[in-house]
Structure 1
Amino acid sequence: MGVLFSAPAPLSPMERLYDIAFRTEPQISVPQDPPLVVPVQADEQADIDISGDAFDFVRSIRVYHIQFSQHENRDGDCNRYDSTRLGSYGVQGDYRWTRSSVADVPPVSQLPEPVHCRSISYRSVFVDWRDHEGNYGFEEVRY
């Protein structure tokens, strides 16, 4: 969402071997304190007022759960199955799923164009958004 993370440069394989071979004491992480308990909201919305324009980037997030297939049967009929759903955020951060279709999925998706009746089976999660500066971004994961 317009944020940059700079990770430290990874060690080369030789540097990693040297570090492991000559380390004076083992580095084991053992928690000393009990785990932090974080309360979870039951009303499924933000715990602050996010209705202002500064939070439009939250409401711009759309999640498409795409499940689409089509094939031609022996009689020459085209059988299509489309159970695409759209997830989105409301004014106060409440999340909801609504029915959608592959026709509503943005064209930047890798979803093949369902022309004629060629055999297609496609499942993915496609997320798109606009960051706080209005820049468009997206990510898609097929499964």
Structure 2
Amino acid sequence: MMDGSTALVPEDALLRGNGYSGAMAQGDLALHLIQDRADIDISGQEFNFVRSIRVFDVRYARQHESGRDGDCNRSANIYLGTYGTQGDFSWLRSSPWALPDAHLGLERWGSNCPSIYHRSVFVEWHDYAGNYGFEQVNY
């Protein structure tokens, strides 16, 4: 910390797996990850900021008129990723209507069928103090 009250001291990474637990040698290319679980208990309210993270993968969302009758064709492939109690991450199918208000690109979805083609990844969160944040990458 900048106030000098507590200084963080770097530690060697630990290699885990196959019954071995020890300091990882510098230059060792093997990286072992513990999947689908946290090393610590993060189920308490102080870790709600982790569970507040939501990832929207808008693989595509398109809308356009077609045919002589002016039928509106809409299709979307959107997934929502969330973190569970212990930091486990999972994907669920979602829809354009579930996207947060801060997401840009599908504002006219469902109205009078304007031509739209959109792809993006949108991440939103609330920090430890409850402040809202987000990031969007269109591609």
Structure-2-length-normalised TM-score: 0.75
SS of the residue corresponding to residue 38 of structure 2 reads coil
Query: How far is the alpha carbon of 1:37 from its aligned partner?
Result: 3.9
Gaps of 5+ in 1: 1-32
* Structure 2 CA distance for aligned equivalents of residues 68 and 126 of structure 1: 14
Q: Is the 8 A contact 1:45 1:95 kept in 2?
A: no
1:136 to 124, 128, 132: 132
* Structure 1 CA distance for aligned equivalents of residues 29 and 50 of structure 2: 27
Q: If each structure's helix is expressed as a fraction of its own residues, which one has the higher value? A: 1
Q: What is the number of equivalent residue pairs in this alignment?
A: 110
1:107 to 101, 114, 121: 101
- 1:35-75 deviations in whole A, cap 9, x for unaligned? 36432113x12121100011000000000011210110023
For the aligned residues, what is the CA RMSD?
A: 1.3
Higher relative contact order (CA 8 A, sep 6+): 1
Q: If each structure's strand is expressed as a fraction of its own residues, which one has the higher value? A: 2
1:52 to 8, 28, 44: 44
Which residue number in structure 2 is paired with residue 74 of structure 1?
A: 67
Q: Is the 8 A contact 2:96 2:106 kept in 1?
A: no
Which residue number in structure 2 is paired with residue 63 of structure 1?
A: 55
Structure-1-length-normalised TM-score: 0.73
> What one-letter code is carried by the residue in structure 2 that aligns with 1:99?
R
Larger Rg: 1
